[in-house]
Amino acid sequence: MTGGGSGIGKAVCKALAASRAQVWVLDIDHTAADATAAEITQAGARARAVPCDVADSASVGRAFAEMAAQGPIHALVNSAGIAHIGTLADTNLQDFEHIFRVNVQGTYLCMQAVITTMLGQGGGVIINLASVAAVAGIPSRFAYSMSKGAVRAMTFSVARDYVDQNIRCNCITPARVHTPFVDGFIKQNYPGKEAEMFKTLSLTQPVGRMAKPEEVAALAVYLCSDLASFLTGADLPFDGGVLNLRT
């Protein structure tokens, strides 16, 4: 589980652990990964923290080698990612490349690192976190939309290439999810108007609120389970009606 130190990633780690999975908590923030693993183990479930910078091939290689040495890796959930605000005109090359390295290259490196293990053990599940920004025009999200569109496309490609090897690959496409990142973004950009902006951003979703990380996590657990064994090459919108109901 990449990005397991906070937000959606942390929620997925806890939900998988509650379903009796052995969870590996990968995050560039060692302290956050340790904290997630500690919460899980204190609740009586199984988890270990593994430091991992998904944008760095050597770091990814070490992390996945450590996990594979302990036994099969049944599922990989790619949640690590960063956001960026900007249009084409005001997105500089440095920011564009940074978004690409983390969101696109990071997903690629982690999938590539796990695929040999999954092939050797006779199958596995890969879940990627995309975004409604991958399929709908969202203002001032040029680089972020690019990255999530690439994640979505890679999902379809991996699903097609490995469907005959019992490896399933799907992606979840959420709308806005209420995480600490959202609270920090509002506080930084709209000081004194936090409540007003939270309401505005919540109403972007036709259902009238943001998703909860635990709701996304429940879908991820389902996709990892045998109940979803017929499902591969799918993009599952988890968007509160954004894509089909927004006027």
For the annotated catalytic residues, the residue numbers are 144
Mean pLDDT of 86-97: 97
**What are 235's strand-pairing partners?**
171
Q: Quick one: pLDDT at residue 181? A: 83
Provide the percentage of residues in the chain whose pLDDT is more than 70: 100
Mean pLDDT of 8-34: 98
Which of 146, 104, 145 shows the shortest CA–CA distance to 128? 104
Mean pLDDT rounded to a whole number for the chain: 96
Mean pLDDT of 189-217: 94
Confidence of residue 247 (pLDDT cuts 50, 70, 90): low
pLDDT digits (tens, 9 = 90+) for 1-17: 999 999 999 999 999 99
Which of 185, 179, 163 shows the shortest CA–CA distance to 212? 179
pTM, full prediction: 0.95
CA distance 187 to 204: 18
Domains of the chain are 7-175+211-241 (3.40.50.720)
